[in-house]
Amino acid sequence: MSNEITAEIISIGDELLIGQTINTNAGWMGDQLGLFGIRPKRVLTIGDDRQEILDALGTAQCDVVLITGGLGPTKDDITKHTLCEFFDTHLVRHADIEARIVGFFQSLGRDPLDVNRAQADLPANCVVIPNDRGTASGMWFERPRPGRPGRVFVSMPGVPFEMQAMMLAHVLPKLKEHFTPPTIVHRTILTTGLGESHLAKRIEAWEDSLAGERIKLAYLPSPGTVKLRLSTYAEANASAAYERVHRKAEELRRLIPELIFGEGEERLSQVLGRLLRERGQTLSLAESCTGGYVSHLITSVPGSSAYFTGGVISYANAVKMEELGIPSDMLELNGAVSQPVAEKMATGVREALRTDWSVALTGIAGPDGGTPEKPVGTVWIAVAGPDGVQSMLGKFPGRRSTIIEGSALAALNLLRKRLLA
Amino acid sequence: MSNEITAEIISIGDELLIGQTINTNAGWMGDQLGLFGIRPKRVLTIGDDRQEILDALGTAQCDVVLITGGLGPTKDDITKHTLCEFFDTHLVRHADIEARIVGFFQSLGRDPLDVNRAQADLPANCVVIPNDRGTASGMWFERPRPGRPGRVFVSMPGVPFEMQAMMLAHVLPKLKEHFTPPTIVHRTILTTGLGESHLAKRIEAWEDSLAGERIKLAYLPSPGTVKLRLSTYAEANASAAYERVHRKAEELRRLIPELIFGEGEERLSQVLGRLLRERGQTLSLAESCTGGYVSHLITSVPGSSAYFTGGVISYANAVKMEELGIPSDMLELNGAVSQPVAEKMATGVREALRTDWSVALTGIAGPDGGTPEKPVGTVWIAVAGPDGVQSMLGKFPGRRSTIIEGSALAALNLLRKRLLA
């Protein structure tokens, strides 16, 4: 559409150019802008260099110019001074911000240096944007344009944690007020268990029906999961758009209930934590090929000690026998990567650790160890619970790390389905 | 210096702008260019849009312009056609490349489509760069300039795995031949155990001595480790530069031997694997607060089953008692996060799994569970071996994930030091 609002991102920092830091900010900002109805059009990454910054500001053509980086207290941070030059202004000390900086350092038991206090010096003609997580304030500048909202330049710190909070709490709402972009209603549905192309085939007819509802679908794949994002422009009455998206999301839930594990930013390990807490139940793990990765996913969730008691990593067969009670003839007869061993690992750890549920994995993560019958990527997964043990055979493609990741998520999803059954 | 060779990267792809894919290519390329004596000056990320691409090519000013993305077989991949337009040329079919593409698909048991064969159509006036890992060829264009080597434009696929192989095998050597940039000699030394600022203080005098040797030092921090990269321009005789860097690296080794765990791209878990293999020794783990993350690091290394037998994740106290033999009165008297418990976890798992070495961790990863005496980030680490048990108390700053990562690396480093003692 011709009256769309466009944005350009200028990422400043030598460390980005030489690969010392990967520019994750630009992608995050682009995603957020899109959700607010603003189209990210280009990202320019440059060094901490006065002339490069001036050139970038001078040639920017989008409605919104978001600048990150170069706001630290050290000599090589020159963004603020260069902005003063570009916007033909000077720095003024803000007493309230200085007091906040002093307080911040004192809370760490340290005295601020002059360079720290100087972070309270800000361009006279900008609107100061508060930094709720650090000492470098953001700056909002406007350049008037005839007949439409002025072009906006916003300078923010490059620390992702600080920039993200500033964007969400202050910059995005202010941009919405300034430009009144079309409202976009969106909903992100999280799936696991099918790759992108197989998933697309499975929901093809449903996807075709979205056009009639003016809903766009995006596939956002990452190892082990595919996010499906539904989005639509809202009419004057936004609730009608919510209703349209909601209806289609519910249709999808009925179509692939076993593949959907959550919505939004939730992770599968968080969903499991919620389900186990609700039920007041506990979990233990027995891992072979995943070597602790499933436990790591579970324990990455704060508060997981409420339902996770522990686990056994049985890399060697001796550990499978002694810690999990796998009979040696079972290992000899079936091999370590087999259904009976996976199931016995699950029941063994469940009994030893006396939990309500247990999950076990045994497989071949590669690159070595594969055979024609059991190639690399073969993984047996078992879940034991109050109502018995259940298992599945997975074949995971890719490299060692991808096989570990894919089988871990499949195991968590098998447990999720059992909890909900 | 005024005769430096500069480079600009143009990253093409809608998925980069909307944050679906993070632009990791640009940082990797910048790092590699730097090692070849070419300075990365800017990165421009744009969508799959003809006019945007033409504008980016037209305004490029560096000696080298590296372009990635938009070379796939689908309709929205327009980079190749736009390059033809910019360089005023047309596509010609390369029979040898077409045969390679057909063979690639047949090896997967599939027939290539016309759009796949069309990847053998390449601009008439470019030098074709082979893609050893995929079907999209690279393209090398030159624009003559009076009195110096012509400006070079190179178009490569956006898939990191393909682009990296193409850069290393073909593009970087060809750039070196074309521009003869100064040779840079570098060496990267890997440290763990001290944060960037404390490390800098510790090696201050040594760092000051580098200038006299015309050696530059870069700190490359990531969670738990700091890489120190020494680099220098080589004289006509490069071996003198190697000698200068070698001498300073050896001085550093003598200065902080306990902090250095390796060189180059090696990870601490790989170093440990090498040390254990050399000694024909085995390892087991007992993890509490790290919840499987140390095991995950160890088992991420291919072939780790040769020395890693397994471990116990003792999240709950009951598991500490039953699986690791921690007396209940020891837990009551000292608390789970204590030196005796950490040491008993280490000796307990070492005995249970009958390994030469064991590592144990018990601590408070947060966000809850801290007390004034044992705040969040308090972690006891113990290593048990043939010559007894040794332990240390760590205080790790930051969030849950940072505490888990930091304490895991500290534990691996404690084991490394014991193995080398």
User: Span A48-74, mean pLDDT?
Assistant: 94
Q: Mean pLDDT in chain A? A: 93
| Per-residue pLDDT tens listing for chain B (421 residues) | 447 899 999 999 988 998 888 899 999 999 999 989 999 999 999 999 999 999 999 999 999 999 999 998 877 789 999 999 999 999 999 999 999 999 988 877 778 888 889 999 999 999 999 999 889 999 999 999 999 999 999 999 998 989 999 999 999 999 999 999 988 898 999 999 887 778 888 999 999 999 999 999 988 877 778 889 999 988 777 899 999 999 999 999 999 998 999 998 899 999 999 999 999 999 999 999 999 999 999 999 999 999 999 999 999 999 999 999 999 999 999 999 999 999 999 999 999 999 999 999 999 999 999 999 999 999 999 999 999 999 999 998 888 998 999 999 999 999 999 999 8
Query: Which residue, chain included where needed, has tokens 């959550």?
Result: A262
What's the count of helices (H) and strands (E) in chain B, helices before strands? 17, 17
What's the alpha-carbon Rg for chain B, to the nearest Å?
A: 27
Interface test with B, best of A276, A297, A299 (most B CBs within 10 A): A299
Residues 6+ apart with CB under 8 A from A402: A223, A396
Residue B9 pLDDT = 98
Put simply, the answer to whether B220 touches A44 (Cβ < 8 Å) is no
Put simply, the answer to whether B43 touches A44 (Cβ < 8 Å) is yes
Q: In DSSP terms, which residues pair with B141 in a beta bridge?
A: B153
Q: Where are the beta strands (DSSP E) in A268-314?
A: 283-287, 308-314
Whether the CB-CB separation of B7 and B39 falls below 8 Å is answered with yes
CATH for B274-420, options being 3.30.1370.10, 3.40.50.280, 3.90.1200.10, 3.90.950.20:
3.90.950.20
Residues 6+ apart with CB under 8 A from B158: B11, B12, B13, B25, B68, B69, B70, B71
pLDDT tens digits, one per residue of A383-400:
999 999 999 999 988 789
Put simply, the answer to whether B313 touches A322 (Cβ < 8 Å) is no
Minimal CA separation from A163 to chain B, in Å: 16
Neighbours of B193 (CB within 10 A): 20
DSSP B44-113: EEE-S-HHHHHHHHHH--SSEEEEES--SSSTT--HHHHHHHHTT--EEE-HHHHHHHHHHHHHTT-PPP
Residue A397: is the preceding peptide bond cis (ω within 30°)?
no
Minimal CA separation from B23 to chain A, in Å: 7
Does this model's pTM top 0.90?
A: no
Helix spans in A325-399 (H): 328-334, 339-353
Residue A283 pLDDT = 98
Put simply, the answer to whether A312 touches B315 (Cβ < 8 Å) is no
Interface test with A, best of B48, B164, B298, B313 (most A CBs within 10 A): B313
Put simply, the answer to whether A311 touches B299 (Cβ < 8 Å) is no
Put simply, the answer to whether A291 touches B294 (Cβ < 8 Å) is no
Q: In DSSP terms, which residues pair with A64 in a beta bridge?
A: A7, A152
Backbone angles phi, psi at B234, to 5 degrees: -85, 145
In a 3-state reduction of DSSP, which class is residue B268? Answer: helix
Q: In DSSP terms, which residues pair with B65 in a beta bridge?
A: B8, B153
Nearest to A40 among B18, B23, B401 (CB): B18
Put simply, the answer to whether A18 touches B40 (Cβ < 8 Å) is yes
Put simply, the answer to whether B291 touches A298 (Cβ < 8 Å) is yes
Whether the CB-CB separation of B44 and A26 falls below 8 Å is answered with no
Query: Which residue, chain included where needed, has tokens 């095991």?
Result: B295
Minimal CA separation from B349 to chain A, in Å: 11
What's the count of helices (H) and strands (E) in chain A, helices before strands? 17, 17
Q: In DSSP terms, which residues pair with A142 in a beta bridge?
A: A152
A vs B: CB pairs below 8 A:
234
Q: Evaluate if residue A375 carries a pLDDT over 60.
A: yes
User: Span A273-281, mean pLDDT?
Assistant: 97
Query: Which H or E run includes A149?
Result: strand A148-156
* CA–CA separation, A110 and A13 (whole Å): 27
Domain boundaries, chain B: 5-179, 184-263, 274-420
Question: What's the burial of A55, exposed, middle or buried (CB within 10 Å: 0-12/13-18/19+)?
Answer: middle
Q: Evaluate if residue A109 carries a pLDDT over 80.
A: no
Whether the CB-CB separation of A154 and A64 falls below 8 Å is answered with yes
CATH for A184-263, options being 3.30.1330.10, 2.60.40.3080, 3.30.70.2860, 3.40.50.300:
3.30.70.2860
Token duo for residue A109:
């038991």
Interface test with B, best of A59, A61, A305, A315 (most B CBs within 10 A): A315
Buried b (16+ CB within 10 A) or exposed e, B7-40: bbbbbbbbbbbbbbbbbebbbbbbbbbbbbbbbb
DSSP A185-219: EEEEEEEESS-HHHHHHHTHHHHHTTGGGT-EEEE
Helix spans in B188-292 (H): 196-202, 204-208, 238-255, 268-279
CA angle in degrees (0–180, nearest 5) for B366-B371-B377: 40
User: Span A91-120, mean pLDDT?
Assistant: 90
Residue B1 pLDDT = 43
Residue B59 pLDDT = 94
A5-179: CATH topology is Molybdenum Cofactor Biosythetic Enzyme; Chain A (3.40.980)
Predicted confidence band of residue A2 (pLDDT cuts 50, 70, 90)? very low
Q: Mean pLDDT in chain B? A: 93
Which residue pairs from A90-99 have beta carbons closer than 8 angstroms and sit at least 24 positions apart in sequence?
A: A90/A123, A90/A124, A91/A121, A91/A122, A91/A123, A91/A124, A92/A121, A92/A122, A92/A123, A92/A124, A93/A120, A93/A121, A94/A120, A94/A121, A94/A122, A94/A128, A94/A137, A95/A120, A97/A122, A97/A128, A97/A137
Closest residue on chain B to A367 (Cα):
B302
Topology alike, domains B5-179 and B274-420: no
Put simply, the answer to whether B404 touches A300 (Cβ < 8 Å) is yes
* CA–CA separation, A9 and A34 (whole Å): 13
Whether the CB-CB separation of A391 and A358 falls below 8 Å is answered with no
A275-420: CATH topology is Maf protein (3.90.950)
